[in-house]
Structure 1
Amino acid sequence: MKSIATLTMNPTIDVSYDVGQMRHTHKMRTDNEWYAPGGGGINVARVFARLGGNARCYYLSGGATGPALDGLIDRHQLVRTRIPIAGPTRIASAVFEHETGKEYRFVPQGPQIAESEWRSCLEQLGEAQCDYMVLSGSLPPGVPDDYYARISELLRPRGMEIVLDSSGKALAAGIEAGGLALLKPSLGELQSYIGRPLKTAEAIEEAAMGIVEAGKARLVAVTMGHDGAVLARKEGTVALPAVSIEAASAVGAGDSFVAGMIFALASGQSDTEAFRLGLAAGSAAVLRAGAGLAHPRDIERLLDQVAAI
């Protein structure tokens, strides 16, 4: 199997709780308390490792909360390279309300990153040894909008396949740099990049194919929640309907999707089989509230429900 590494520029300590009812001002007693290391690349690595692969996590960590994140990553037995920063690692919360079955998510912006810190990260990545580098998640304040593009231009000449899953200006700059092995936008992120609403299946497929035909990415997988997903590649587009499940959370669905696709690709499976595994993994991630992400048993069960291609 090919090796992967992931980069998480804005990691989190993910905390999840259950409450009976959300009420302002009142003290609300919680149960089912759960702590996990989070952020795009770390989530991808967690699911990739559960599926049987090995992944090195590159991530920024600092402040009083930094050691807690390091310890949580060690608990998940992930190989890690920590880039120290002065600012505190953010803490994100997900609260599941039993009365309504709704989940509330609170996600801080993240710490301010100094130029010396993001340059140190570039130096560390320059020493990376892997087949796939997954660039996933938001950029914290202080990091240039074209940071993922810089990393892609640094690593692609060394033969690494670059996977990008981000949003906003970071996503746009990464796409414009081109040469991506896999781009995984949500429909909202794709619409933001294109600059217009994509209201039909044909419009979504055309936008995704446009990125492929421009040489920006070999594969573009657009996730659309309960409307399924679309895969664009040089052979054309493939659409898959969503798996019929009752979603309890939205935490880590996209990251689990990426992990499933990359695991299949790294194992030598076809693009379409990787797409199917990605959809199954993304669906498995939302079965339970909190930051548990996708589990192999659920992925295997749901894969049987994903339409054949």
Structure 2
Amino acid sequence: MKESPKSDARMSIVTLTMNPALDITTNADVVRHTDKIRCDGARYDAGGGGINVARFARVLDASVTAVYPAGGPTGALVTDLVGESDVPVARVIIGNPTRESFTVNERSTGKQYRFVLPGPQLTPAEQAQCLDTLRRAAASAQFVVASGSLPPGVPADFYQRVADICGELGVPLILDTSGGGLNHVKAGVFLLKPSVRELRECVGSPLETESEQLAAAHGLIDRGVTQAVVVSLGSEGALVATSRDSMRIPAIPVHAVSGVGAGDAMVAAMTVGLSNAWPLSKAVRFGIAAATAKLLTPGTSACTRADVDRFFELVSEPIDDSALLP
């Protein structure tokens, strides 16, 4: 029987979310232009990559603190919702209101429509306060997880500054981001978790084959950007690259209710596994189990521990893909 993580009072994870959101999810029969779309009642969740990671890690019994900037009524509601998840917060109050994200599930087709706003403008002083708050929170952490997009006004090299802080503190950084926030990271990451699309954008190549994707991941390791790369492949599972190994871990086929937050669930469970001193391959298998469990839940609501443990029993052992490399 495969082991699942147990609660450990020493476990400490700090997450950073620079662009949190109030996630609103609803259903409608048909989504079409011009017409009014009559929706069901809405579901409200605290969202943004790092906040999702924190909420999901808490479901898995981790000790976790969420660092994020928030402002206005939406920011206050996000903070209330995070608190309801039993996650301690280190909130940086900002002048502009936290963004909203809106998801509509179309019942007639099963399609999902996601509307994502850019987020509030952060001043240089607010950005500096976020870094200071992170430094204090991360001083006693086992892992820092920085996840999600950067809001307007935040320079593209912001996550490199986060990596520098983690390096000074001796705390491993797990990074899950895209666009400029990813492209401007040059060193200091412990584990990078891009999707295939994000990896393609990062290296500027279509990466059509698995061998090309692994080669790109190893290129980031060889350049010193990160020590390991886990490429999420959606329904195909994940690729894992380290300086020594290349492997693929298959996904578990399920009928998805919503794909929102599955990547965050994967990062949360991987981090929990690593915090328990698991090998990376085992932590990634636990991450795939959590992502699968998240597919069964609406919006960005948290999956259950029971579902994660159940799917963990079903995740296949890694497939050695070292032969695919040149």
TM bucket normalised to smaller: over 0.9
Q: What amino acid maps onto 2:279 in structure 1?
A: S
Alignment of 1:47-196 (within 5 A): 47-128=56-137, 129=139, 130-174=141-185, 176=186, 178-196=187-205
Query: Unpaired segments of 5 or more residues in structure 2?
Result: 1-7, 319-326
Question: What SS does the corresponding residue of 2:184 show, helix, strand or coil?
Answer: helix
Cα deviation, residue 32, structure 1: 5.2
Q: Deviations over 1:150-174 (max 9, x none)?
A: 1111221211111110001111222
Task: State whether structure 2 residue 213 is matched by structure 1 residue 204.
Answer: yes
Alpha carbons 1:4, 1:56 under 8 Å: kept: yes
Query: Unpaired segments of 5 or more residues in structure 1?
Result: none
Q: Deviations over 1:59-118 (max 9, x none)?
A: 010023221111111111110011011111111111111111111111100011111110
Percent of paired sites with the same residue: 39
Provide the residue aligned with 1:42 in structure 2: 51
**Aligned equivalents of 1:294 and 1:272: distance in 2?**
22
**Aligned equivalents of 1:25 and 1:202: distance in 2?**
45
Q: What amino acid maps onto 1:82 in structure 2?
A: R
TM-score, with structure 2 as normaliser: 0.90
**Aligned equivalents of 1:88 and 1:100: distance in 2?**
34
**Aligned equivalents of 1:133 and 1:142: distance in 2?**
23
**Aligned equivalents of 1:117 and 1:105: distance in 2?**
28
Provide the residue aligned with 2:281 in structure 1: 272
Alpha carbons 1:251, 1:293 under 8 Å: kept: no
Cα deviation, residue 227, structure 1: 2.0
Question: What SS does the corresponding residue of 2:92 show, helix, strand or coil?
Answer: strand
**Aligned equivalents of 1:237 and 1:143: distance in 2?**
34
Question: What SS does the corresponding residue of 1:88 show, helix, strand or coil?
Answer: coil
Pick which of 119-128 and 47-56 moved more.
119-128
**Aligned equivalents of 1:47 and 1:201: distance in 2?**
29
Q: RMSD of the alignment, in Å?
A: 1.4
**Aligned equivalents of 2:293 and 2:301: distance in 1?**
10
Q: What amino acid maps onto 1:107 in structure 2?
A: V
Provide the residue aligned with 1:283 in structure 2: 292
Provide the residue aligned with 2:324 in structure 1: none
Task: State whether structure 2 residue 27 is matched by structure 1 residue 18.
Answer: yes
**Aligned equivalents of 1:80 and 1:219: distance in 2?**
28
**Aligned equivalents of 1:237 and 1:152: distance in 2?**
24
**Aligned equivalents of 1:293 and 1:19: distance in 2?**
22
Q: Deviations over 1:230-289 (max 9, x none)?
A: 000122111022211122222111111100100000011111100101111112222233
Pick which of 253-262 and 60-69 moved more.
60-69
Q: What amino acid maps onto 2:121 in structure 1?
A: Q
TM-score, with structure 1 as normaliser: 0.95
Task: State whether structure 2 residue 38 is matched by structure 1 residue 29.
Answer: yes
